[in-house]
Amino acid sequence: MKKIEVFTGSCRLCEGAVALVDKVADKSRFDVDVLSIDGDRAKSLGLTAVPSIVLDGSLLFAGLPTEEDLTHALA
C-alpha cells in the first residue's frame, strides 16, 4: 500500500489539503497520515512549506494543489 503524508501547520490551507486528500485518495490503495510540519519526519525530509503532500517519501506538492492535479498525481 502506498503512503501519503500530509504535513500541516495551523492554517486554512492545511485544513483544505487534509480534506482534499481525504476526498481524492482511495483508502484501499493509500495509507494517509497527517503530521506536523514541526515534527521530526518533516525535518528529515527537509520540508518547510505548509501544506506539503508527500507520496512514499517523495514530495508531490508544497502548497495546496487543485483537485485535478492531486487526482492526476495519484493515478
The tens digit of pLDDT for each residue in 30-47 reads: 999 999 999 999 999 999
Determine how many CB atoms are found less than 10 A away from the CB of residue 22.
Answer: 12
Q: Kindly state the average pLDDT of the residues 14-43.
A: 96
Residue 27 pLDDT: 85
Question: How far apart are alpha carbons 20 and 65 in whole angstroms?
Answer: 9
Q: Kindly state the average pLDDT of the residues 65-72.
A: 97
Q: Residues 6 or more apart from 46 whose CB is under 8 A from it?
A: none
Predicted model pTM: 0.94
